[in-house]
Copies of this chain bind each other. A is one copy, B any other.
Amino acid sequence: MADAAVARYGRVRLATEALAGGLSAEDAGAQAMPDASPVKWHLAHTTWFFETFVLVPRAPGYRPASPEFRFLFNSYYDTVGERPRRSERGLLTRPSLAEVWEYRRAVDTAMSALLEREGVRVERLVDLGLAHEEQHQELIVTDALALFARHPLEPAWHETASAPSLPGAGWLDREGGRVAIGHDGVGFAFDNELPRHAVLLRRHRIARRPVTGGEYLAFMADGGYRQPLLWQDDGWECVRRYGWNAPEYWSYRDGAWTAMTVAGRRPVNPEAPVCHVSWWEAEAYARWAGKRLPTEEEWEDAADSFDSGMVWEWTASPHRPYPGWRAPTGAFGEYNGKFMAGRFVLRGGSLATPAGHCRKTYRNFFPPSARWQFSGMRLAEDV
């Protein structure tokens, strides 16, 4: 039992390191933009999470080797205290990447000892820490991509499997009615997936697959980015202010649309899901197509009947607490609870999401203008 916990802990931690392994100290230290973080920061912050929330309260005699890390690598926990400004994480040149690797080693050693000693008594805490680490694994990919996309030479980084072409389109007819939504409490879930509760759904149809690059190109060709009537008011403001005319990272070169990816710049695959669109674009596309985005409840209710996991799928639902939700006590109340306004829910997971991390009740969320995540969408319609 303890062995299994130690082994699982090690697997997740190693996966993070494998991701970051190919990056130089400079690559790992730079911050592409205020929304993104340096990879080195992700490596340190995930370690800080175990140190702060597991080792310090639960491992008697554990002494942080670098007490200033409690401050330096706090992301947003006011319960824990002050922290550097988010937009200045790229200025934290000390500790070095090598020292952060060492920090990981030291915490891993202490965690292994604790897991062997305490076993299931710390299981839930460790589960949260590992789920947290997996979230940052995906952020390492999105944030490094944001960095490389801003580099004039557009370097490739991972020879990654690119998004596969999708199976044939089509619709699932859904009866609606009273359905149960949210996590059932068996196994790990984030607090915002709880409590399980009933909702009423109308009859509707939901697409079998996400919208593809080719479909999105048709929207672009039809002047989608020039028709204010397709857009929410604030979305149209984004289009004009930022000059949006294609998904993030797309560029028209030598007669064809290309997209910057972790494998460098590549032609857009018209059969693969469109990616790096904001909620505003997802919603405008749906309106153009004469459809709408599914609510997160419609998505969850149908999720056993379609394939997902290629791109995060924007839903029609703002990220709000489920009926009867209570914030966890202490710092964990800040984990999701202070981001419950101004964000929309994404469901399903992406190719950058670690295997096994996601589930159908999983609620990811980002502001409607965010485009640097692996975000696309699926359509729905009333019938």
- Whether A271 sits at the interface, judged by CB under 8 Å, is no
Q: By the criterion CB–CB under 8 Å, are B199 and A200 in contact?
A: yes
Q: By the criterion CB–CB under 8 Å, are A29 and B32 in contact?
A: no
Instruction: Give the docked Cα–Cα distance between A275 and B152 (Å).
Output: 37
Closest to A25 in B: B25
- Whether A198 sits at the interface, judged by CB under 8 Å, is yes
- Whether A320 sits at the interface, judged by CB under 8 Å, is yes
Q: By the criterion CB–CB under 8 Å, are A91 and B32 in contact?
A: yes
A73 to chain B, nearest CB (A): 11
Q: By the criterion CB–CB under 8 Å, are A26 and B93 in contact?
A: yes
B-contact bits for A164-208, CB 8 A (1 contact / 0 none): 000000000000001000000000000000000111111000000
Set of chain B residues within 8 Å of A228, measured between Cβ atoms: 78
Instruction: Give the docked Cα–Cα distance between A340 and B293 (Å).
Output: 13
Q: By the criterion CB–CB under 8 Å, are A84 and B339 in contact?
A: no
- Residue in contact with A200 in the complex, picked from B147, B178, B233, CB distance below 8 Å: B178
A253 to chain B, nearest CB (A): 16
Q: How many copies does the complex hold?
A: 4
Q: By the criterion CB–CB under 8 Å, are B90 and A234 in contact?
A: no
- Residue in contact with A147 in the complex, picked from B24, B93, B96, B320, CB distance below 8 Å: B93
Candidate in A155, A228, A229 with the most chain B CB atoms within 10 angstroms: A229
Tell me the chain A residues, 74-108 only, with Cβ under 8 Å from chain B: 76, 78-79, 84, 88, 90-94, 96-97
Asked, given contacts A232-B338, A338-B233, whether A152 binds B25 with beta carbons under 8 Å apart, the answer is: no
B-contact bits for A277-316, CB 8 A (1 contact / 0 none): 0011001000000000001000000000000000000001
- Whether A355 sits at the interface, judged by CB under 8 Å, is no
Closest to A195 in B: B202
Tell me the chain A residues, 7-53 only, with Cβ under 8 Å from chain B: 24-32, 40
